[in-house]
Amino acid sequence: MLKAIQQCTLLDDVTMEDPTTLSLERFIADLSGKDDALLVLSGTMGNQVALRSHLTAPPQAVLCDRRGHIINYEAGGVASLSQAMMQPIDARNETYITLEEVQKYAVISDDVHACPTRVISLENTLNGAVMPLSEVRRISAWAREHGIIMHLDGARLWEAVAAGAGTLKEFCAEFDSISLCFSKGLGAPIGSIIVGSKAFIKRSRWIRKSIGGGLRQAGVVAAPARVAVEETFLGGKLTQSHENAKRIQKIWTDLGGKLQYPVDTNMVWLDLEAHGVDLNRFIELAEQYGVRVRAGRFVVHYQIGEEAIERLRKVFTEVLTGETSTGKKGNAEHDPEDLKMKGKGVE
């Protein structure tokens, strides 16, 4: 990635003159089966630019999973930027929302008392769990029948594809717009991209510029992003992180541990509350074994090493059985920050 940055072009992306950025956008558009693409600085920016481009005439609402990123972690952007109301719904299966739930809560009538649903925004993966392509297709077909726009927060869609849930083109074909992230599981230092029709991307460039997202030397962002896609996604490295997540799951469940969500991809959600485990105590104990954690949510990347997994085994054993595993706590060769920076830690 550093080599790619050193060799990238440094022309103006606002005026669409930078070859490195234009090449990345064409590459991702072709990879996803869409007409065009637009580089953005973050997943939040990608979602908000896309939704603002779709939402042009209030009253309007966006229907989404109650646990979704766009409603919980984007600073109320849908309300402040798009003047739209959120319509959050619960997934009864606790994994993904279904067509029946969408039909129950989407507003498609002309009743002036209600706010009409203009966009259905799905997220895949959500909490590491895959939304099946079959369910996506059911919702998409119904939405198109009723003139509702489909958007996907696909920050971690790479993971669903790597897990064998469908191809990138198959998933993207069901949506009018998709946001894809380069800096999560793929490992680029920064950046996301949105894909869609040429008309949609043309409008999105205006919206991106209006919120300060235009870059004069975008090549330094685009170059490592392309390396991340080619080497991590197309190179098959994501399956390694999935395998390690399954190993971590097995260590936990073999000790009697319960999970919050199924482990479909690279996330492991420990149900600490079910075992009466105090979160602060868990964080403190992990640090004693040289592993830095923030909660019971483990996001595994392909650089996670054997050493980190074995240390987690010791943490899990002490948390669930009260027994201290072989090896002394606090005498780790590396401190937690050192492990994290070297890609061996778990966060």
Examine residue 335 and state whether it is found in any structural domain, yes or no: no
Give the pLDDT confidence of 70-91 residue by residue, as tens digits. 999 999 999 999 999 999 999 9
What does the alpha-carbon distance between residue 179 and residue 34 come to, in Å, rounded to a whole number? 12
Examine residue 5 and state whether it is found in any structural domain, yes or no: yes
Assess whether 241 and 225 both reside in one domain.
no
For residue 334, is pLDDT > 70? Answer: no
pLDDT the model gives residue 329: 53
Q: Tell me what the mean pLDDT of segment 85-99 comes to.
A: 97
Examine residue 265 and state whether it is found in any structural domain, yes or no: yes
Assess whether 174 and 309 both reside in one domain.
no
Supply the pTM of this predicted model: 0.91
Confidence at 325, pLDDT banded by 50, 70, 90: low
For residue 341, is pLDDT > 90? Answer: no
Assess whether 168 and 25 both reside in one domain.
yes
The DSSP output letter for 274 is G
Look at residues 196, 231, 266 and tell me which one is the last residue of a structural domain: 231
Assess whether 144 and 266 both reside in one domain.
no
| Count of structural domains, the chain | 2
Examine residue 132 and state whether it is found in any structural domain, yes or no: yes
Assess whether 192 and 122 both reside in one domain.
yes
- The helix (run of H) or strand (run of E) holding residue 205 is helix 198-210
Average pLDDT taken over every residue of the chain: 93
For residue 61, is pLDDT > 60? Answer: yes
What does the alpha-carbon distance between residue 347 and residue 342 come to, in Å, rounded to a whole number? 12
What does the alpha-carbon distance between residue 11 and residue 85 come to, in Å, rounded to a whole number? 39
High-pLDDT (> 70) share of the chain, %: 93
Assess whether 140 and 268 both reside in one domain.
no
Distances (CA, A) of 309 to 1, 168, 258, 289, 345: 27, 30, 18, 11, 9
**255: how many CB neighbours lie within 10 A of its CB?**
14
Examine residue 216 and state whether it is found in any structural domain, yes or no: yes
Place of tokens 């606790």: 94
Q: Which domain holds residue 317?
A: 237-323
Assess whether 107 and 241 both reside in one domain.
no
Q: Tell me what the mean pLDDT of segment 34-60 comes to.
A: 98
Q: Tell me what the mean pLDDT of segment 230-237 comes to.
A: 97
Looking from the CA of 157 toward its CB, the CA atoms found within 13 Å total 30
pLDDT the model gives residue 343: 36
Assess whether 11 and 151 both reside in one domain.
yes
Assess whether 214 and 255 both reside in one domain.
no
Q: Tell me what the mean pLDDT of segment 35-40 comes to.
A: 99
Task: Give me the sheet containing 192-196, strands edge to edge.
Answer: 36-40, 192-196, 177-181, 149-154, 117-123, 61-65, 85-89
Q: Tell me what the mean pLDDT of segment 38-63 comes to.
A: 98
What does the alpha-carbon distance between residue 60 and residue 108 come to, in Å, rounded to a whole number? 11
Examine residue 79 and state whether it is found in any structural domain, yes or no: yes
For residue 336, is pLDDT > 80? Answer: no
pLDDT the model gives residue 295: 87
SS3 content of the chain, % helix, strand, coil (to 5): 45, 15, 40
Give the pLDDT confidence of 158-212 residue by residue, as tens digits. 999 999 999 999 999 999 999 999 999 999 999 999 999 999 999 999 999 999 9
Q: Tell me what the mean pLDDT of segment 323-338 comes to.
A: 50
In terms of pLDDT, which residue wins out, 158 or 296? 158
Examine residue 280 and state whether it is found in any structural domain, yes or no: yes
Query: Can you give the CATH number for the domain in which 299 is found?
Result: 3.90.1150.10
Close Cβ partners of 316 (under 8 Å, ≥ 6 residues apart): 251, 252, 255, 257
pLDDT the model gives residue 324: 65
Least-confidence region, from 119-133, 157-171, 201-215, 324-338: 324-338
Look at residues 194, 212, 231 and tell me which one is the last residue of a structural domain: 231
Assess whether 151 and 95 both reside in one domain.
yes
High-pLDDT (> 90) share of the chain, %: 90
Looking at residue 187, its amino acid is G
Query: Can you give the CATH number for the domain in which 155 is found?
Result: 3.40.640.10
pLDDT the model gives residue 330: 46
Look at residues 184, 213, 231 and tell me which one is the last residue of a structural domain: 231
pLDDT the model gives residue 262: 92
Render 23-78 in DSSP notation, one character per residue.
HHHHHHHHHHT-SEEEEESSHHHHHHHHHHHH--SSS-EEEEETT-HHHHSSTTHH
Assess whether 215 and 317 both reside in one domain.
no
Examine residue 63 and state whether it is found in any structural domain, yes or no: yes
pLDDT the model gives residue 326: 54
> Which of 171, 176, 159 minimizes the C-alpha distance to 120?
176
For residue 138, is pLDDT > 50? Answer: yes
Torsion of CA 341, 344, 346, 347, to 10 degrees: 20
For residue 13, is pLDDT > 70? Answer: yes
Assess whether 117 and 250 both reside in one domain.
no
